[in-house]
């Protein structure tokens, strides 16, 4: 019989070319912490063909001789990242320190994303959000702001940055993070950076487009993410959004559908109906999660299914056909997109490349 998917992932070899000397890595403040590990900011000398220059990076680590699951998740994430190759809308691998892995230390070096995770970021921006969607779900094209903003829409705009004195305080798990978040890694915004530019509907559309592109790239590499949510999208310079956290990702080999054998912590509110009922995961179940991600985006970081717990009752409701409504700030096009992502039959959901294409019809994207 075929190997189980997890076993196949374990048998993927580690490519030594990714090894980075530990002494050239200077660890700094903590960016995020989860149940089993943490992410810290760091300076790396000469990482990934940057010559002898110093580069700011993010380092994911597990330091544990006791928690096997956490170590395995990070090893699997490293292998997935190596397999993936790089894409603008994915948090790319830069290197790894695996020498002390037998002593329980593994460091995975990835791109640093200055503005932290999208969920916390949009949640904190809600008081100065510029909504360009009217009560009928149309984007207000006649708005002055619209004409000014169209030039800076899409990927090319610049954030104005203002730096405060950086204090080396470790940040706590932020209260805005969904309480039922299953992620090992709760991302926070770097405390020494604040933004001054207001975000608008156009930024939300740009981020939804970029995440669809990142996910389409994953799908093209036959990788399913398994935990797509606003907390797992990071914001880099110039408004670039990157899909992160591949701790739950799986490489699909023979089948398109991956059936999960072991049950860990599950992101119930982001999970597709077939994942909840039959533990089936596929690129089409990532599409469902993408629909939930859109809802988070246009509610500026609310927890999905407000007022509902994440347990049996929710699963029952979804089985009975209950779906969330279009958020007020979402253009109609995106309301329809959410509804389609939440089709009971996975085959009726759109693909990531179709979702990308739909974005190009939206007035929020220049092309």
Contact footprint for ligand ADE (CB under 6 A): 31-32, 39, 58, 91, 110-113, 116, 187, 234
Whether the Cβ atoms of residue 335 and residue 137 lie closer than 8 Å to each other: yes
CB of 176 to ligand ADE, least distance (A): 14
For residues 43 and 252, what is the distance between their CA atoms, to the nearest angstrom?
34
Residue 335 is labelled as binding a ligand: no
Residue 245 assigned ligand-binding role:
yes
Does 126 appear as a known binding residue?
no
Q: Which is nearer to ligand ADE, 111 or 227 (CB)?
A: 111
Structure tokens at 272: 């597709």
What is the residue whose two structure tokens read 């310079």? 237
Are 139 and 363 spatial neighbours (Cβ–Cβ below 8 Å)? yes
- In the complex, least distance from residue 231 CB atom to ligand ADE, rounded to whole angstroms: 10
8 A C-beta contact, residue 137 and residue 332: yes
- Say how far apart CA 107 and CA 130 lie, in whole Å: 40
**Distance in angstroms (rounded) separating the CA atoms of residues 352 and 283:** 9
Helix (H, G, I), strand (E, B) or coil at 162: strand
Tell me if residue 130 falls in helix, strand or coil.
strand
> Nearest distance from residue 317's CB to ligand ADE, in Å?
33
Closest to 233 in 3D by CA, of 213, 252, 219, 250:
213
| Active-site residue, 286 included | no
Has 36 been labeled as part of a binding site? yes
| Tokens at 67, concatenated | 């928690």
211 labeled part of a ligand binding site: no
Q: What is the dihedral of CA 128, 214, 343, 278, to 10 degrees?
A: -120
Find the shortest distance in angstroms from Cβ 253 to ligand ADE: 28
Closer to ligand ADE by CB, 120 or 289: give it. 120
32 vs 267, which CB is nearer to ligand ADE?
A: 32
**Looking at 190, 227, 256, 366, which residue is catalytic?**
227
Residue 253: CA atoms inside 13 Å, Cβ hemisphere, count? 11
- In this complex, which beta carbon is closest to ligand ADE, that of residue 75 or of residue 110? 110
Q: Is 6 annotated as a binding residue?
A: no
Nearer to ligand ADE, 56 or 131 (CB): 56
The residue among 2 and 164 lying less far from ligand ADE, judged by its C-beta, is: 164
What tokens appear for 325 in the block? 């409504």
Instruction: Output the smallest distance, CB 273 to ligand ADE, in A.
Output: 30
* Tokens, residue 239: 């408004």
Asked whether residue 307 is marked as a ligand-binding residue, the answer is no
Residue 97 annotated as binding? no
Look at residue 60 and give its three-state secondary structure.
strand
Instruction: Name the residue with the smallest CB distance to ligand ADE.
Output: 58
**Phi, psi dihedrals of residue 76, rounded to the nearest 5°:** -65, -40
> Which residues fall within 8 angstroms of residue 217, CB to CB, at 6 or more apart?
84, 87, 89, 90
Nearest distance from residue 334's CB to ligand ADE, in Å? 27
Binding residues: 32-39, 60, 231-232, 245
Binding residues for ATP: 32-39, 60, 231
Binding residues for Mg(2+): 232, 245
Catalytic residues: 227
């Amino acid at each position: 019989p075929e190997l189980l998917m997890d076993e196949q992932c374990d048998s993927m070899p580690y490519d030594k070319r990714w090894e980075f000397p530990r002494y050239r890595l200077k660890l700094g403040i903590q960016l995020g912490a989860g149940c089993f590990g943490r992410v810290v900011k760091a300076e790396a000398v000469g990482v990934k063909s940057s010559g002898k220059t110093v580069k700011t990076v993010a380092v994911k680590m597990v330091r544990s001789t006791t928690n096997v699951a956490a170590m395995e998740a990070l090893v699997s994430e490293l292998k997935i990242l190596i397999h993936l190759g790089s894409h603008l809308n994915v948090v790319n691998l830069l290197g790894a320190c695996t020498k002390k892995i037998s002593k329980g230390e593994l460091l995975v070096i990835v791109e640093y994303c200055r503005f932290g995770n999208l969920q916390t970021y949009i949640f904190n921006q809600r008081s100065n959000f510029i909504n360009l969607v009217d009560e009928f779900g149309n984007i207000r094209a006649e708005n002055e702001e619209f004409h000014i903003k169209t030039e800076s829409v899409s990927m090319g705009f610049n954030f104005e940055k203002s730096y405060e004195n950086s204090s080396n305080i470790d940040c706590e798990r932020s209260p805005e993070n969904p309480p039922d978040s299953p992620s090992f890694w709760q991302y926070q915004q770097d405390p020494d950076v604040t933004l001054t530019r207001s975000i608008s509907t156009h930024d939300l559309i740009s981020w939804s487009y970029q995440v669809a592109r990142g996910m389409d790239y994953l799908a093209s590499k036959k990788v399913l993410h398994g935990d797509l949510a606003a907390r797992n999208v990071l914001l880099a310079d110039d408004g670039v959004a990157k899909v992160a956290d591949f701790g739950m990702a799986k490489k699909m080999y023979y089948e398109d559908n991956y059936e999960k054998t072991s049950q860990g912590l599950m992101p119930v509110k982001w999970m597709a109906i077939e994942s909840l009922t039959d533990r089936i995961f596929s690129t089409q179940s990532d599409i469902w999660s993408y629909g939930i991600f859109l809802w988070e985006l246009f509610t500026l970081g609310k927890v999905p299914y407000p007022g509902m717990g994440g347990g049996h009752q929710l699963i029952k409701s979804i089985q009975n056909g209950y779906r969330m409504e279009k958020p007020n700030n979402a253009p109609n096009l995106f309301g329809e997109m959410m509804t389609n992502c939440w089709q009971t039959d996975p085959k009726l959901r759109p693909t990531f490349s179709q979702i990308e294409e739909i974005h190009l019809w939206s007035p929020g994207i220049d092309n």
